Structure 1
Amino acid sequence: MIFSKKVSTKRIHPSWKLMISYSILLVLILAVGLYLYNITKKDIVTNAQNQNRLHLSSTINSMDTQFKAMNNLALSIVRNSDLTELARMSASSPNFHLKAYEGKSNMYAFSPMCQLLPIENFFIYMPQSGYILSPYQFTSMDFYYREHNMSMEHYGQWKDTLVNPEMQLQFLPLSNYNSNNKNFLYIMSLDNYLFYSMPAYLCFIIDYEAITQFFSDIEFSNGKYLYVTNNSGEYQFSIGEPPKYSADLAYISTFDYIDDTVSHTFGTETINVIRYTSSTNSWIYYLLEPQSIVSSSLNQYRNMFLLTILSGLCIGIILLYFLSKHNAQPVIQLDAQLQDSIFRTHELESVLEKQQPLIQNSYIRNIMLGRISTRGEMDYIQNYLGLTKTGVKYYVLYIVAYLDETSKLDDDISSFLDESEEFILSSVSSHHTNIISCLEKYFGDPLYLFNPKRHNYALLLMEPSDTQSSPSLSEKFLDFHNEMLERYSIWTIGGTGNPNHFLGNTWKSFQQAQKAVSYASNSHILYNYDSLDLSSDIYYYPSQLEESLINFISAGNLEQTEEIFKFIHRENLEKRSLSYPKMQTLLMELHNTLAKIRYTISDAETNELIANVDHKLKEYLSLKQLEDIASDLCKFFSGRSSKKQTITNIQSYIHENFKDSSLCLAKLSDEFGLSESYLSYLFKEGTGENFSMYLERIRMDEAMKLVKESSAALSSLYLEVGYNNANSFRRAFKKTFGMSAKAVRDNMNQ
């Protein structure tokens, strides 16, 4: 490729150049500042809504637990035969007061169940006798009503309410009967729990302060308001200062909710509403928050961004003035160099865009050269490339292209470049593009290929396992050859290796195809390795095969190591007739390869297995003896670097460094020399959970231990277990244990 440069004769005054350049820069600073402000604004609003939704759902789940406990208490009461019998008795029945005394004792036994409920008291109202029964009281309803200072003019309404089915399972405000009482009455008919009649009603006095405490995670002091209705839209209770638009909340269920969220305007005020429905009693909770509260939290960021923008503008104006007046000439020279660099950069980007994806090219190269060390890595690459089809076998077609005289220009340029530059320029040349286009036409897309050398193409192909031969390949290659010759004057020859059912053995087919193509000629443009006459006195042990053997042994891959020795045996003892001197030379080269691997092991790591290898290396050489040595070396390296051991090492590293807030997948990748994607896959396969969940579990276990066994301050606890954000720690702790760290410690101190 020849780089050309256009030289402009038009002169522009340097002051104008600088003013235009820095004016654009100042505009960009302003645009970036506004963009970052808008992004931050959206994030704050979204995070605020998510945090409110999380607190609301957590609290409602706790409320549902209390309702279930109240229901369980009702079940326990109806199963008590004494209480059932008492409910059916009148005040004049024989032994009524004796039964009441026994019933009071039974009710007292239920007191522990109610200590954790958000109630002030509970009692059973028995309309047959007109009495109420609680753990601490047995009296007439009239006396109970007067004792609690409730208005006598509403006494009839009170009695009707207790037996009215429409008033059951609701929060009924006691302020209707005593204006100073903020609590609620919650009625459950015990008759609904039995097949036979039990005319009694379980009544709970719900403590308003306890209910408010349930929602303590939500700050109602800043204008938030909780409005609760049943599934029929009837008001139950609310928390927070009633807003001026509270009369309009009767229609809150008719708003247009999207994902249980809506922004609605009441008069001149916009309110964000979050809706959550209980899974236990279908009550609907509405959390309302003025949008102005969210906007006020942006003041700090708005001021920061304004300061940044103004600072950037001031600095830009100073630079504009200084450089325009004092550095015009150096800028002209710098501009000329910059334009030249930009031109070359654009040319290079154009070259890179035409290359095959680097990752795929690298994987195909490593497969064909036998550089994939472990079965796990091969499985991962196979899934990445999409080569997961079963019932197929893989083989390599090796193609060499010979260009005509019009391509000499490329050859002349390449003589001035090193090997890597030659490969890049070759990859983007018009000849390369034509060859790739023609390969895609005849052999499908995507192409699994790489360039071993310039104008050489190694193509990975597949065919069904039950196919004995591929006559269609010869026809495809002939059509490909003819089209390349007729359209582009490019002569091509090819060679194919033997197929393998396992993708990891493709290196054999690659070396065979490379050997076969060297036999191709004008009269026979495509050779199959099986058709070659190899009855010669030249042994087969190329450098690529030696490199693959070293890689497989060093990775402890016994399966591929044995496959290489089978391949060496077949190539040198079955397909060739080697003389004794040539055979000894082959054995000596294999010996040298194994010795090279052996001496990468330090004296400190030497064990009985390696001592046995040293002894065998000094004995009489034979192919079987060398294969045994390779097997022993594989066993040694397998024990040192097995997948299970790698996972164990990763787990140990996490346990030792979980307090480091910067611990992440990227850091583990650097520590263990594995790609992030493969390390994540390996960890999930070995432990059954992904890295982030595993790390969170370790940190939460340590956090719980510190809460229970130490006096560490809860406000800084998150730093002790590797978090750099207190809110993230609190959410994770509550999600894991169902309560906050403060609640755990408070329970311990009680």
Structure 2
Amino acid sequence: MAVKKILKNNAIIRLFSSYLLVLFLVIATCLTGFGRALDIVEDNTVRESSSLLRQGSNDMDYFLKNIYNSGMKLSSSQELKELGKYTNADSLDYYYQAKAVMKDFEEALKYLDSEVYQESFIYINSIDKFFFQGGVYRSTVFDSYLTRWGVAPETWMDVCGGNRTTPGFYVTGSGELFYYFPCIDLSGKGERIATIFFHIDKSFLLEKMQFLQNYSTYSIFLVQDETVILEVDGFGMGIPSDIVQSFDSTTKEQMARMGEKLVLQKRSDSIRGNYILVLPENEAFAQIERLKMFLFIPLGLALLCGIGFAVYCAVKTGKPINNIAKKINDIQNDTEPKNVNTDLKYLDATIEQIIEQQKADKGALQQSFFHNLLKGDFVSRPELEYMAKRAEIPLTGKEYYAIAVRLFPQIDADHIDGQTVEEARALQLLLGHYLQTQNIGSLWSYKRNTLVFQYIMEADGVEDNDIRQRISNTAEWLKEAHHVDSCWGISTICRELMNFWRNAQEAQDALLEAGRREPVLLYGEAKGQDKSFYLPYSMEEHLAQGLRSGDFEQVGQTLDMLREENLLRRKLDRGQFLKLSRRISDILAAQCGHLDETEESLIRLNGILIENRADAQNEEHYFEELKQVCYRICGIAVGQKSLKRNNKIKSILQYMEDNFKNTGMGLAMVSEQFGLSEGYLSALFKEEMNVNFADYLEDLRMKEACRLLKEGGLVADIAERTGYNSVQSFRRAFKRVLGVSPSEYRT
């Protein structure tokens, strides 16, 4: 009772209690948020580690997949299967058949990277002979090679004559690695008739496995059928078998903890094996530990400051209220009040604290838009259009340049010290200020890494030579004022921000060329001394994204840029052009899945290069056919999306037909049922049905109401049976839609 009396009579105590309650609610919310944030950071750390494993394993799979494709092609060769049926090596037919097999074998080896394998040969079971380096060897003669590779003959024959029907790896006693492909006679008893072997360069693959630079120690294993094929065992503990056995063999990627180790697994369908990565948990989650350490100090300070502020506000606001309450009590008791007007004015001034909702700053929105544009964060065209509209930035009508700069080009990016990092941070700010003094329009920047910055520069009416001169002045200023060398790449002019990704890539390409020739280089001036095929990751992403979304324009622009760079500027030789074609085919195959028509198109497309000689006319023909294949894939994607939207709308209409009598029926209910946002559902419904969702729902209810009224139903019952909360709501809706009341309609 005493506490309740104090709270009732003392405004300071009441206010302080309410402020303190709000403060503790805020602190509790912050703790919950921080806990969730730490979970997100941990999840991101695992994802980053998984991404590193994915990238490293994809690099290895690229080389092994080429061998896999060639081995599978040879093992299914009809020529080889026919040869395997011979038991007499002295016949003339055997000679011609062996010659055909050797020709196919040599032709297949031409398209393999020689870095990943050392030798390759074929063993024929029926005649007990080896095809190796253009010759045919008896097994007794070939034993000398097996001995050199550390292979016991009896073990080798177990591999050659085993029951395995799928490709596999074989590790010799001396550690040599072989990738073999059984050739099975499917027309007979399913026996093995031959085996193709590739002697893998193990040191080359081990070098590829050492792709983690941020960890002092780690282990990575390549495992097939519970056998370790390759390993980089930094911990010296071997493969964690208990954890590996707990992994689900059908899952692509998995993670587990083993003591103080983080174990990641990625399945490779290309080689039918698994990559196992073991990381030290203390290094993997070092960032989380630092966040936990820094969390308690700010929260403690916030709590102390909050309590102090609550005391101050409670006294400041509660004291005048207490005084006024005392004056009112004096008046009620016929005593003379003192200074009532003064206290009322003070209270009025205290209460007049208005919290205004701030409007989003236009400049900040534009800065965010251009920053994301330089980063390439926009996933789709609609997202880019929406963000540009929100920031009031026109996508056309203005001209821009993409500019990339590399500081300290003589410094290896892998050996940057702390002093260089700090200098680069300061120079980024100085460069931004100096570029603004060069009579250039608006400028936005993005830091790609410690030494490379990228800019987007508004330059309406500015010529290429003017931009080059101003950037040259900036490079000279940087050299004279700060003794810092730099390289600059400048794109062609951009007149449509929707395609700015292309200009950003041009600036990066010009920057690479500038590092070899001169400090400042326009993209149009770069001659492309690099003769390897040109297909950067950004172009792969845009091509794949365009194919998935059915964006004909984006796909066509990407292919035109590939054609210009590889045919006109680099003038690729046949070998590099074949590699480019193979990479493009992989991208197309990944997007089209198992569509027979598209697979046939890819075969015809590759046939243009294989059957014809390499010349400009043939390569132009290749790109024309490639564009047609891509357009067909886009058409299929558009058709599938349209079919999916139609099926979705049909399901929604049926759901509304079945549930319109529910009073809770609305956008929220339908969007939750189908896993869509309310905004997307509303736009989809309007686009497909040419009517608003609410109008369509109301029309369903009105049709049912009219039918029930004609059958003589009561208005109150009809209102409930058609999904309205009250009779009044039903009457108003009926009058608005049909122009008459329910009673008038019935009569």
Q: TM-score scaled by structure 1?
A: 0.42
Tell me which of the two structures has the higher relative contact order, counting C-alpha pairs closer than 8 angstroms and 6 or more residues apart. 1
Larger Rg: 1
